[in-house]
Structure 1
Protein backbone atom coordinates (compact mmCIF):
# COMPACT_ATOMS: atom_id res chain seq x y z
CA UNK A 1 0.00 0.00 0.00
CA UNK A 2 0.93 3.61 -0.47
CA UNK A 3 -0.09 5.40 2.73
CA UNK A 4 -0.17 9.17 3.18
CA UNK A 5 -0.06 10.35 6.80
CA UNK A 6 -1.21 13.90 7.58
CA UNK A 7 0.79 15.20 10.53
CA UNK A 8 3.64 12.94 9.56
CA UNK A 9 6.11 14.17 12.19
CA UNK A 10 3.79 13.60 15.15
CA UNK A 11 4.69 11.01 17.75
CA UNK A 12 1.97 8.55 16.75
CA UNK A 13 2.55 9.20 13.05
CA UNK A 14 6.28 8.49 13.21
CA UNK A 15 5.78 5.24 15.09
CA UNK A 16 3.06 4.22 12.64
CA UNK A 17 5.28 5.13 9.70
CA UNK A 18 8.08 2.93 10.98
CA UNK A 19 5.72 0.00 11.63
CA UNK A 20 4.06 -0.05 8.23
CA UNK A 21 7.32 0.66 6.39
CA UNK A 22 8.80 -2.40 8.07
CA UNK A 23 5.79 -4.34 6.75
CA UNK A 24 6.72 -3.34 3.21
CA UNK A 25 4.35 -0.43 2.64
CA UNK A 26 5.30 2.91 1.09
CA UNK A 27 4.66 5.84 3.42
CA UNK A 28 4.58 9.57 2.74
CA UNK A 29 4.39 11.88 5.74
CA UNK A 30 2.98 15.36 5.29
CA UNK A 31 5.09 17.83 7.29
CA UNK A 32 5.04 21.60 7.83
CA UNK A 33 8.72 22.19 8.47
CA UNK A 34 11.79 21.29 6.44
CA UNK A 35 13.65 20.60 9.69
CA UNK A 36 11.50 17.48 10.12
CA UNK A 37 12.79 15.88 6.92
CA UNK A 38 15.86 14.15 8.47
CA UNK A 39 13.68 12.42 11.08
CA UNK A 40 11.35 10.96 8.46
CA UNK A 41 14.24 9.93 6.26
CA UNK A 42 15.83 8.18 9.25
CA UNK A 43 12.54 6.34 9.73
CA UNK A 44 12.60 5.18 6.12
CA UNK A 45 9.52 7.28 5.39
CA UNK A 46 8.97 9.57 2.41
CA UNK A 47 7.79 13.13 2.91
CA UNK A 48 5.98 16.06 1.35
CA UNK A 49 6.22 19.54 2.84
CA UNK A 50 2.72 20.99 3.09
CA UNK A 51 1.07 23.28 5.63
CA UNK A 52 -2.43 21.93 6.20
CA UNK A 53 -3.51 25.35 7.44
CA UNK A 54 -2.28 27.05 4.27
CA UNK A 55 -3.37 24.86 1.40
CA UNK A 56 -6.49 24.02 -0.57
CA UNK A 57 -8.52 20.91 -1.24
CA UNK A 58 -7.26 21.00 -4.81
CA UNK A 59 -3.60 21.08 -3.76
CA UNK A 60 -4.10 18.35 -1.17
CA UNK A 61 -5.97 16.24 -3.72
CA UNK A 62 -2.89 16.15 -5.92
CA UNK A 63 -0.73 15.16 -2.95
CA UNK A 64 -2.89 12.16 -2.01
CA UNK A 65 -3.69 11.08 -5.57
CA UNK A 66 -2.47 7.54 -6.15
CA UNK A 67 -2.49 6.61 -2.45
CA UNK A 68 -4.22 3.47 -1.22
CA UNK A 69 -4.96 4.96 2.20
CA UNK A 70 -4.73 8.22 4.11
CA UNK A 71 -4.33 8.59 7.86
CA UNK A 72 -5.21 11.76 9.74
CA UNK A 73 -2.68 12.12 12.54
CA UNK A 74 -2.33 15.91 12.65
CA UNK A 75 -3.24 18.05 15.65
CA UNK A 76 -3.41 21.65 16.74
CA UNK A 77 -0.76 21.11 19.40
CA UNK A 78 -0.74 21.23 23.22
CA UNK A 79 -0.14 24.98 23.50
CA UNK A 80 -3.69 25.93 24.43
CA UNK A 81 -4.42 27.60 21.09
CA UNK A 82 -8.15 27.01 20.70
CA UNK A 83 -8.22 28.45 17.18
CA UNK A 84 -5.91 25.71 15.91
CA UNK A 85 -8.30 23.05 17.18
CA UNK A 86 -10.72 24.39 14.59
CA UNK A 87 -8.20 24.84 11.77
CA UNK A 88 -6.28 21.58 12.28
CA UNK A 89 -8.21 19.04 14.33
CA UNK A 90 -11.39 19.86 12.44
CA UNK A 91 -10.53 21.84 9.32
CA UNK A 92 -7.55 19.80 8.15
CA UNK A 93 -9.31 16.49 8.84
CA UNK A 94 -12.31 17.63 6.79
CA UNK A 95 -10.02 18.84 4.00
CA UNK A 96 -8.16 15.52 3.93
CA UNK A 97 -11.47 13.68 3.62
CA UNK A 98 -12.61 15.92 0.79
CA UNK A 99 -9.26 15.55 -0.97
CA UNK A 100 -9.36 11.77 -0.60
CA UNK A 101 -12.81 11.68 -2.16
CA UNK A 102 -11.70 13.94 -5.02
CA UNK A 103 -8.61 11.79 -5.64
CA UNK A 104 -10.53 8.51 -5.48
CA UNK A 105 -8.72 7.32 -2.34
CA UNK A 106 -11.28 5.28 -0.43
CA UNK A 107 -9.44 4.23 2.73
CA UNK A 108 -9.41 6.89 5.46
CA UNK A 109 -8.22 6.21 9.01
CA UNK A 110 -8.90 8.94 11.56
CA UNK A 111 -7.16 9.44 14.89
CA UNK A 112 -9.84 11.05 17.01
CA UNK A 113 -10.44 11.15 20.76
CA UNK A 114 -12.49 9.58 23.49
CA UNK A 115 -14.50 11.88 25.75
CA UNK A 116 -16.99 13.14 23.21
CA UNK A 117 -19.81 12.03 25.52
CA UNK A 118 -18.65 14.80 27.88
CA UNK A 119 -18.87 17.69 25.43
CA UNK A 120 -20.15 21.01 26.78
CA UNK A 121 -21.50 22.93 23.81
CA UNK A 122 -21.16 26.41 25.33
CA UNK A 123 -17.76 26.00 26.98
CA UNK A 124 -14.77 28.04 25.76
CA UNK A 125 -12.34 25.78 27.60
CA UNK A 126 -9.68 24.59 25.14
CA UNK A 127 -10.25 20.90 25.73
CA UNK A 128 -13.96 21.35 25.06
CA UNK A 129 -13.16 23.18 21.83
CA UNK A 130 -10.89 20.27 20.93
CA UNK A 131 -13.55 17.66 21.65
CA UNK A 132 -16.13 19.52 19.58
CA UNK A 133 -13.64 19.83 16.72
CA UNK A 134 -12.94 16.10 16.85
CA UNK A 135 -16.66 15.27 16.96
CA UNK A 136 -17.41 17.47 13.96
CA UNK A 137 -14.50 16.06 11.98
CA UNK A 138 -15.55 12.50 12.79
CA UNK A 139 -19.10 13.26 11.67
CA UNK A 140 -17.87 14.70 8.38
CA UNK A 141 -15.66 11.71 7.63
CA UNK A 142 -18.43 9.26 8.48
CA UNK A 143 -20.85 11.11 6.20
CA UNK A 144 -18.75 10.43 3.09
CA UNK A 145 -20.15 7.47 1.18
CA UNK A 146 -17.06 7.44 -1.03
CA UNK A 147 -14.77 6.69 1.93
CA UNK A 148 -13.99 3.37 3.60
CA UNK A 149 -13.42 5.04 6.94
CA UNK A 150 -12.35 3.90 10.39
CA UNK A 151 -12.43 6.29 13.35
CA UNK A 152 -10.07 5.36 16.20
CA UNK A 153 -10.72 7.21 19.46
CA UNK A 154 -7.82 6.86 21.93
CA UNK A 155 -8.07 7.78 25.57
CA UNK A 156 -5.53 10.03 27.30
CA UNK A 157 -2.26 9.68 25.39
CA UNK A 158 0.99 8.97 27.22
CA UNK A 159 4.63 8.69 26.21
CA UNK A 160 5.16 5.53 28.24
CA UNK A 161 6.84 2.51 26.70
CA UNK A 162 4.31 0.64 24.56
CA UNK A 163 2.91 -2.48 26.18
CA UNK A 164 1.66 -4.24 23.05
CA UNK A 165 -1.67 -4.82 24.77
CA UNK A 166 -4.87 -2.75 24.65
CA UNK A 167 -8.61 -2.75 25.23
CA UNK A 168 -10.79 -1.63 22.33
CA UNK A 169 -14.46 -1.07 21.66
CA UNK A 170 -16.94 0.03 24.30
CA UNK A 171 -14.51 0.80 27.14
CA UNK A 172 -14.40 3.25 30.03
CA UNK A 173 -12.19 6.32 29.68
CA UNK A 174 -8.53 5.59 30.40
CA UNK A 175 -5.02 6.17 29.11
CA UNK A 176 -3.03 4.52 26.34
CA UNK A 177 0.51 4.89 25.05
CA UNK A 178 1.07 6.58 21.71
CA UNK A 179 3.05 3.55 20.58
CA UNK A 180 0.14 1.23 21.25
CA UNK A 181 -2.18 3.53 19.30
CA UNK A 182 0.27 3.41 16.38
CA UNK A 183 0.23 -0.38 16.52
CA UNK A 184 -3.59 -0.37 16.50
CA UNK A 185 -3.59 1.89 13.44
CA UNK A 186 -1.16 -0.41 11.64
CA UNK A 187 -3.50 -3.34 12.27
CA UNK A 188 -6.53 -1.30 11.18
CA UNK A 189 -4.90 -0.50 7.85
CA UNK A 190 -4.61 -4.24 7.19
CA UNK A 191 -8.12 -5.12 8.44
CA UNK A 192 -11.06 -4.55 6.14
CA UNK A 193 -13.52 -5.56 8.86
CA UNK A 194 -12.75 -2.26 10.65
CA UNK A 195 -14.20 -0.26 7.75
CA UNK A 196 -17.23 1.69 8.89
CA UNK A 197 -16.31 1.26 12.55
CA UNK A 198 -15.75 3.82 15.30
CA UNK A 199 -14.07 2.42 18.38
CA UNK A 200 -12.19 3.54 21.47
CA UNK A 201 -8.77 2.28 22.55
CA UNK A 202 -7.11 2.34 25.96
CA UNK A 203 -4.43 0.32 27.68
CA UNK A 204 -5.56 -3.23 28.39
CA UNK A 205 -4.52 -6.85 28.45
CA UNK A 206 -5.26 -8.08 24.91
CA UNK A 207 -2.46 -8.23 22.35
CA UNK A 208 -3.09 -5.51 19.77
CA UNK A 209 -3.54 -7.79 16.77
CA UNK A 210 -5.98 -9.98 18.67
CA UNK A 211 -7.94 -6.99 19.98
CA UNK A 212 -8.36 -5.52 16.49
CA UNK A 213 -9.21 -8.91 15.02
CA UNK A 214 -12.05 -9.36 17.54
CA UNK A 215 -13.70 -6.01 16.83
Structure 2
Protein backbone atom coordinates (compact mmCIF):
# COMPACT_ATOMS: atom_id res chain seq x y z
CA UNK A 1 0.00 0.00 0.00
CA UNK A 2 2.38 2.73 1.21
CA UNK A 3 4.44 3.89 -1.76
CA UNK A 4 2.32 2.04 -4.32
CA UNK A 5 -1.27 3.17 -3.79
CA UNK A 6 -0.83 5.34 -0.67
CA UNK A 7 1.55 8.30 -0.49
CA UNK A 8 4.22 7.82 2.17
CA UNK A 9 5.91 11.25 2.27
CA UNK A 10 8.42 10.00 4.84
CA UNK A 11 5.78 9.00 7.40
CA UNK A 12 7.27 5.53 7.92
CA UNK A 13 10.71 6.97 8.65
CA UNK A 14 9.31 9.59 11.02
CA UNK A 15 7.22 6.98 12.82
CA UNK A 16 10.33 4.83 13.17
CA UNK A 17 12.29 7.75 14.62
CA UNK A 18 9.58 8.29 17.22
CA UNK A 19 9.40 4.56 17.96
CA UNK A 20 13.17 4.35 18.40
CA UNK A 21 13.11 7.26 20.82
CA UNK A 22 10.18 5.92 22.82
CA UNK A 23 11.27 2.28 22.94
CA UNK A 24 15.05 2.76 23.03
CA UNK A 25 15.57 0.14 20.34
CA UNK A 26 18.03 2.17 18.26
CA UNK A 27 19.51 5.22 19.91
CA UNK A 28 22.67 7.25 19.58
CA UNK A 29 25.12 6.05 16.95
CA UNK A 30 22.97 2.99 16.22
CA UNK A 31 20.07 5.08 14.95
CA UNK A 32 21.38 5.90 11.46
CA UNK A 33 22.30 2.30 10.64
CA UNK A 34 18.92 1.16 11.96
CA UNK A 35 17.13 3.75 9.83
CA UNK A 36 19.06 2.57 6.78
CA UNK A 37 17.92 -0.99 7.52
CA UNK A 38 14.32 0.24 7.74
CA UNK A 39 14.71 1.88 4.32
CA UNK A 40 16.26 -1.25 2.81
CA UNK A 41 13.47 -3.47 4.16
CA UNK A 42 10.52 -1.27 3.21
CA UNK A 43 7.55 -3.49 2.43
CA UNK A 44 8.50 -6.21 4.89
CA UNK A 45 6.56 -7.11 8.03
CA UNK A 46 7.36 -4.42 10.58
CA UNK A 47 7.55 -6.82 13.51
CA UNK A 48 10.13 -8.87 11.61
CA UNK A 49 12.16 -5.72 10.99
CA UNK A 50 12.07 -4.88 14.69
CA UNK A 51 13.08 -8.43 15.62
CA UNK A 52 16.27 -7.97 13.61
CA UNK A 53 16.96 -4.56 15.13
CA UNK A 54 16.35 -5.99 18.61
CA UNK A 55 18.73 -8.92 18.01
CA UNK A 56 15.80 -11.34 18.41
CA UNK A 57 14.84 -9.95 21.82
CA UNK A 58 11.10 -10.57 21.41
CA UNK A 59 10.01 -8.28 24.23
CA UNK A 60 12.09 -5.40 22.87
CA UNK A 61 10.82 -6.03 19.34
CA UNK A 62 7.20 -6.04 20.48
CA UNK A 63 7.71 -2.81 22.45
CA UNK A 64 9.28 -1.14 19.44
CA UNK A 65 6.57 -2.39 17.10
CA UNK A 66 3.85 -1.12 19.43
CA UNK A 67 5.63 2.23 19.64
CA UNK A 68 5.84 2.35 15.85
CA UNK A 69 2.15 1.58 15.44
CA UNK A 70 1.26 4.28 17.95
CA UNK A 71 3.53 6.84 16.29
CA UNK A 72 2.23 6.03 12.81
CA UNK A 73 -1.38 6.34 13.99
CA UNK A 74 -0.56 9.71 15.58
CA UNK A 75 0.97 11.00 12.35
CA UNK A 76 -1.98 9.79 10.28
CA UNK A 77 -4.40 11.43 12.73
CA UNK A 78 -2.53 14.74 12.82
CA UNK A 79 -1.40 15.02 9.20
CA UNK A 80 -3.84 12.81 7.34
CA UNK A 81 -2.98 10.34 4.62
CA UNK A 82 -3.42 10.59 0.86
CA UNK A 83 -3.60 8.18 -2.02
CA UNK A 84 -1.03 8.14 -4.79
CA UNK A 85 -2.72 10.37 -7.36
CA UNK A 86 -5.21 8.31 -9.36
CA UNK A 87 -4.76 5.09 -7.37
CA UNK A 88 -8.40 4.67 -6.37
CA UNK A 89 -9.54 5.22 -9.95
CA UNK A 90 -7.09 2.57 -11.17
CA UNK A 91 -8.41 0.06 -8.63
CA UNK A 92 -11.98 0.76 -9.74
CA UNK A 93 -10.96 0.39 -13.39
CA UNK A 94 -9.26 -2.94 -12.77
CA UNK A 95 -12.25 -4.30 -10.89
CA UNK A 96 -14.56 -2.96 -13.57
CA UNK A 97 -12.55 -4.96 -16.11
CA UNK A 98 -13.18 -8.13 -14.10
CA UNK A 99 -9.97 -8.33 -12.07
CA UNK A 100 -9.88 -8.99 -8.34
CA UNK A 101 -7.78 -6.40 -6.51
CA UNK A 102 -6.11 -7.14 -3.19
CA UNK A 103 -4.15 -4.49 -1.29
CA UNK A 104 -1.28 -5.88 0.80
CA UNK A 105 0.95 -4.25 3.39
CA UNK A 106 3.71 -5.00 5.85
CA UNK A 107 1.81 -3.08 8.53
CA UNK A 108 -0.16 -4.73 11.31
CA UNK A 109 -3.93 -5.00 10.84
CA UNK A 110 -4.41 -2.10 13.27
CA UNK A 111 -2.16 0.27 11.33
CA UNK A 112 -3.53 -0.96 8.01
CA UNK A 113 -7.10 -0.33 9.14
CA UNK A 114 -6.21 3.18 10.34
CA UNK A 115 -4.99 3.97 6.82
CA UNK A 116 -8.08 2.45 5.19
CA UNK A 117 -10.31 4.40 7.59
CA UNK A 118 -8.51 7.67 6.86
CA UNK A 119 -8.84 7.16 3.10
CA UNK A 120 -12.41 5.87 3.22
CA UNK A 121 -11.35 2.83 1.19
CA UNK A 122 -13.49 0.22 2.97
CA UNK A 123 -15.24 -0.99 -0.18
CA UNK A 124 -12.56 -0.11 -2.71
CA UNK A 125 -10.65 -3.39 -3.04
CA UNK A 126 -11.76 -7.01 -2.82
CA UNK A 127 -9.47 -7.63 0.15
CA UNK A 128 -6.83 -5.90 2.26
CA UNK A 129 -4.19 -8.18 3.78
CA UNK A 130 -1.41 -7.90 6.36
CA UNK A 131 1.21 -10.53 7.23
CA UNK A 132 -0.96 -11.55 10.19
CA UNK A 133 -3.62 -12.65 7.69
CA UNK A 134 -1.24 -14.72 5.58
CA UNK A 135 1.40 -16.28 7.83
CA UNK A 136 4.60 -14.52 6.80
CA UNK A 137 5.31 -11.13 5.33
CA UNK A 138 7.35 -10.20 2.29
CA UNK A 139 9.60 -11.31 0.64
CA UNK A 140 7.90 -14.65 1.35
CA UNK A 141 5.13 -15.61 -1.10
CA UNK A 142 2.41 -15.86 1.55
CA UNK A 143 0.63 -12.54 0.90
CA UNK A 144 0.14 -12.95 -2.87
CA UNK A 145 -0.73 -16.63 -2.52
CA UNK A 146 -3.28 -15.87 0.21
CA UNK A 147 -4.75 -13.20 -2.06
CA UNK A 148 -4.94 -15.74 -4.87
CA UNK A 149 -6.69 -18.35 -2.74
CA UNK A 150 -9.12 -16.00 -1.05
CA UNK A 151 -10.25 -14.37 -4.30
CA UNK A 152 -10.57 -17.70 -6.11
CA UNK A 153 -8.28 -16.63 -8.95
CA UNK A 154 -7.89 -19.09 -11.80
CA UNK A 155 -4.14 -19.75 -11.63
CA UNK A 156 -0.89 -18.45 -10.17
CA UNK A 157 0.37 -17.39 -13.57
CA UNK A 158 -2.74 -15.23 -14.00
CA UNK A 159 -1.71 -13.15 -10.99
CA UNK A 160 -0.14 -9.68 -11.32
CA UNK A 161 1.86 -8.38 -8.35
CA UNK A 162 2.64 -4.66 -8.17
CA UNK A 163 4.78 -2.81 -5.65
CA UNK A 164 7.35 -0.12 -4.98
CA UNK A 165 9.87 -2.15 -2.96
CA UNK A 166 12.36 -4.91 -3.58
CA UNK A 167 10.42 -7.01 -1.07
CA UNK A 168 7.19 -6.52 -3.05
CA UNK A 169 8.88 -7.72 -6.23
CA UNK A 170 10.61 -10.65 -4.55
CA UNK A 171 7.32 -11.72 -2.96
CA UNK A 172 5.65 -11.79 -6.37
CA UNK A 173 8.52 -13.70 -7.94
CA UNK A 174 8.58 -16.18 -5.05
CA UNK A 175 4.84 -16.73 -5.45
CA UNK A 176 5.24 -17.54 -9.14
CA UNK A 177 3.12 -14.60 -10.30
CA UNK A 178 2.71 -14.38 -14.05
CA UNK A 179 3.64 -10.69 -14.14
CA UNK A 180 5.50 -8.66 -11.51
CA UNK A 181 5.54 -4.87 -11.83
CA UNK A 182 7.66 -2.36 -9.94
CA UNK A 183 6.52 1.22 -9.45
CA UNK A 184 8.79 4.22 -8.86
CA UNK A 185 6.46 6.16 -6.55
CA UNK A 186 7.91 4.75 -3.35
CA UNK A 187 10.97 3.33 -1.66
CA UNK A 188 13.24 1.79 -4.30
CA UNK A 189 14.62 2.79 -7.69
CA UNK A 190 14.43 1.16 -11.11
CA UNK A 191 17.77 -0.64 -10.83
CA UNK A 192 16.81 -2.22 -7.50
CA UNK A 193 13.37 -3.29 -8.71
CA UNK A 194 14.71 -4.79 -11.93
CA UNK A 195 17.49 -6.59 -10.05
CA UNK A 196 14.84 -8.08 -7.76
CA UNK A 197 13.10 -9.59 -10.79
CA UNK A 198 10.44 -7.11 -11.92
CA UNK A 199 9.12 -7.89 -15.40
CA UNK A 200 8.32 -4.20 -15.92
CA UNK A 201 8.86 -0.95 -14.04
CA UNK A 202 6.47 2.01 -14.34
CA UNK A 203 6.49 5.49 -12.85
CA UNK A 204 3.14 5.21 -11.11
CA UNK A 205 0.21 2.89 -10.53
CA UNK A 206 -1.79 5.03 -12.97
CA UNK A 207 0.20 3.47 -15.82
CA UNK A 208 -0.85 -0.06 -14.88
CA UNK A 209 -4.08 -0.34 -16.92
CA UNK A 210 -2.26 0.66 -20.11
CA UNK A 211 0.55 -1.78 -19.33
CA UNK A 212 -2.02 -4.55 -18.96
CA UNK A 213 -3.71 -3.60 -22.23
CA UNK A 214 -6.90 -2.26 -20.68
CA UNK A 215 -8.87 0.60 -22.14
CA UNK A 216 -9.48 3.86 -20.30
CA UNK A 217 -5.84 4.52 -19.39
Alignment TM-score > 0.5, same fold? no
| TM-score computed with the length of structure 1 as normaliser | 0.44
> If each structure's strand is expressed as a fraction of its own residues, which one has the higher value?
1
Q: Choose 1 or 2 for highest CA Rg.
A: 2
> If each structure's helix is expressed as a fraction of its own residues, which one has the higher value?
2
| TM-score computed with the length of structure 2 as normaliser | 0.44
